Structure 1
Amino acid sequence: MVTIQINHLKKNYRKHLAVEDVSFSVKEGEIFGFVGPNGAGKSTTIKMLLNFIFPSGGHATICGKDVVKESDEIKRFTGYIPSDVRFYEHMTVRELMNASNRFYDHSYQEEAERLSKLFELDYTKKFYELSMGNKKKTAIVCALAARPRVIILDEPTNGLDPMMQKRLFTELKRQAESGVSILLSSHNLGEVQEYCDRVAFIKNGKILAVTDLKEIRHPHKIVTTWGGGQGIDHPNIKLLDHKDDKRVYRFQGGSDILLQLLRDANLEDFTVENESLEEQFMDLYGKDEPQ
């Protein structure tokens, strides 16, 4: 079942086109990654989903409800963690959680208490007294305490120490296993690769690709040193770099095919390793970088 559906969303600010064409869907129980360089359109897309800004074109729904016309209803079952957390400065953590709780139809005090203990929050401190990490943890607890059906996170681990990052993703995995849909915008490609099911790559306001990480969890990078001959030519292999007698390939397919290709090639030496999402990211985005 699809819970978030985005069809050709656009957003322009006078002459500036912030989002040109964004389409993807998030399924029930899925952790969906949303990645791209700064200014690519990630936060703008999220703001349109939450009806903080109006789209200039296209259409989006969350659980079948229109993000513009039915925004109030959507917010009753959606948790949101912003990249930059801003709450009322002179309210305590407990007051902020109680205020957040009142936006929903039921009291979720017990869940808020559980999450506060998990993330080691001090109830008594006022918001302005908190470190960046504790401000982010306050936003996490407020977003998750109401047991939302959909969670939207914009750079949620900024400011969190490694232990709290691990606890957050353990909690998100638990939520996803219970059917919660999670949209995760992040610059941390390692966490996207480790925890997400699929990922959308955005650049200059357009979706470049939507990739199932289960299918490409371990594409192989092959570095070869040639003793002669031509390159490896096969539909499952792509030449990434070629300098002197060294070639770098990406291979996706069965190990039996790879072994046969390496056996048939006239190689002086070769190495085979699993390729990271970061390397795929650079392949998509690094083409326009100055040399």
Structure 2
Amino acid sequence: MSIVKITNVRKQFGRFQALDGVNLQVDQGEVYGFIGPNGAGKSTTIRILLGILQATEGEAKIFDKDAWNDAVEIHKRLAYVPGDVNLWPNLTGGEVIDLFMKLRGTEINTNKLDLIERFNLDPTKKCRTYSKGNRQKVALVAAFASNADLYILDEPTSGLDPLMEKVFQECVLEAKKVGKSVLLSSHILSEVEKLCDKVGIIRQGKMIETGTLEELRHLTRLNLLIETKNPITALSDVTGVHEIRTVDKGLSLQVDAENLDSVMKYVSQFGLTKLESSSPTLEDLFMRHYKDNGQNEGVGGES
């Protein structure tokens, strides 16, 4: 069952095409990683889903309701955490959390107290005294305490230390375990790898790849470290071999997954003495996309 469905969405600001035919689907109980460089269109897409912006063309639906026309109904079942949280300076963190929960119609519950403890948040301090990380904690506690059906998280761990990032990851997995859905926009690619069932890569307003991590890894290369009894000759001529470098006593190289069998047959004739293989990371995949497109684009930030 699809919780979020974006179909051929386009968004123009004057002559600027921010989104160009974006398609995206998040199913029930699924964590969907939404990644791309600065200015790729991530935040514009999220703002359309939240009913803040109206799509120029196409359709954006949440819970099978129109994201623009039915925004009020949708928000009753949705929790959103932006990458830079602004809070009322004269309220305490605890007051803000309670306010958010009451606005959603959520009863104050023990889950809230548990989350405050897990995120190591002092709820008695005024929001004006909070660091960026603590402001993020307030928003995350309010979101996960709300028992929403869909969490839209746009760079949610910005400003958190590694220990709190781990707590955040646990909360996402707990939400998934009970059938909640999560749309996670993140530039922390290791976080996306740990949490997400599917990944969508957006570049210059277009979705360039979508699939499970395993499906996307077929498009990238394995990293190999090889040592042989005899020097390997003409390796650069072998189909599927890339980025050959001399490392200590051996060679470091990348191999297209579909050519691994033939590459191994070729190098084995030189007398293999050592072979190390590592699966490609999402970062390998991500950087390869932009390198292949001649881009020098960063990751994360406003988009």
**TM-score where L is the length of structure 1:** 0.88
What is the distance in 2 between the residues matched to 1:267 and 1:147? 60
Residues 267 and 181 of structure 1: CA distance in aligned 2, closer, same or farther (over 3 Å):
farther
State the Cα distance separating 1:161 from its structure 2 match: 0.6
- SS of the equivalent of 1:12 reads strand
Deviation at 1:49, TM superposition (A): 0.3
CA distance in 1 between partners of 2:243 and 2:234 (Å): 17
Greater shift in the superposed pair: 88-97 or 202-211: 88-97
**What is residue 156 of structure 2 aligned with on the other side?**
156
Shift of 1:231: 3.9
8 A contact 1:176–1:182 mirrored in 2: yes
CA–CA separation in structure 2 for the residues paired with 1:130 and 1:229: 57
Residue 281 of structure 1: aligned partner: 286
Gapped regions of structure 2 (runs ≥ 5): 297-303
Moved more, 193-202 or 257-266: 257-266
How many angstroms apart in 2 are the aligned matches of 1:250 and 1:158? Answer: 34
Q: Distance in 1 between matches of 2:17 and 2:211?
A: 25
After the TM superposition, which residues 61-210 of structure 1 pair with which residues of structure 2 at under 5 Å, given as runs? Answer: 61-210=61-210
**Is the CA contact (8 Å cut-off) linking 1:222 and 1:251 kept in structure 2?**
no
The C-alpha deviation readout for 1:171-207, integer Å capped at 9, x for no partner, is 1101101111001101111111122111100000000
Asked if 1:220 corresponds to 2:222, the answer is yes
Compute the displacement of 1:56 (Å).
1.0
Quick one: which amino acid aligns to residue 7 of structure 2?
N
Q: Partners of 2:146 and 2:62 in 1: how far apart?
A: 17
2:256 matches 1:251: yes
Q: Name the CA distance, whole Å, in 1 between partners of 2:216 and 2:119.
A: 33
How has the CA–CA distance of structure 1 residues 81 and 229 changed in structure 2, closer, same or farther, with 3 Å as cutoff? closer
Q: CA deviation at 1:123?
A: 1.4
The CA distance in 1 between the partners of 2:204 and 2:87, in whole Å, is 31
1:49 aligns with 2:34: no
Q: Which runs of 5+ in 1 are unaligned?
A: none
Note closer, same or farther for the CA distance 1:223–1:21 as it changes in structure 2 (3 Å cut): farther
Cα deviation 1:25-53 (Å, max 9, x = unaligned): 01111111000100100011001100111
What amino acid does structure 2 have at the position aligned with 1:53? L
Q: Report how far residue 251 of structure 1 moved.
A: 3.5
Bigger shift: 150-159 or 211-220?
A: 211-220
CA contact (8 A) 2:235 2:241 kept: no
**1:281 counterpart letter in structure 2:** F
Are the aligned partners of 1:12 and 1:56 in contact in 2 as well (CA < 8 Å)?
A: yes
Distance 1:239 1:281 in 2: 19
Aligned CA distance change for structure 1 residues 21 and 2 (closer, same or farther; 3 Å): same
Q: CA deviation at 1:243?
A: 8.3
Alpha-carbon spacing, 1:240–1:16, altered in 2? closer, same or farther (3 Å)? farther
The whole-number CA distance in structure 1 between the counterparts of 2:149 and 2:108 is 14
Cα distance per residue 1:129-149 (max 9 Å; x no partner) = 001110000010111111010
Q: What SS does structure 2 have at the residue aligned with 1:102?
A: helix
- 2:300 corresponds to which residue? none
Residues 259 and 108 from structure 1, CA distance in 2 versus in 1: closer, same or farther, beyond 3 angstroms? same
Cα distance between partner residues in 2 of 1:61 and 1:147: 20
- C-alpha distance in structure 2 between counterparts of 1:216 and 1:267, whole Å: 32
Q: Would the alpha carbon gap of residues 250 and 80 (structure 1) be closer, same or farther in structure 2, given more than 3 Å must change?
A: farther
* 1:263 alignment counterpart: 265
Task: Answer yes or no: is the 8 Å Cα contact 2:217–2:285 preserved in 1.
Answer: no
On the 8 A contact 2:236/2:244 being kept in 1, the answer is: no
Give the number of equivalent residue pairs: 283
Specify the alignment match of 2:24 in structure 1. Answer: 24
- AA at the equivalent of 1:279: D
Kept in 1, the 8 Å contact 2:29–2:176? The answer is yes
Residue 301 (structure 2) aligns with: none
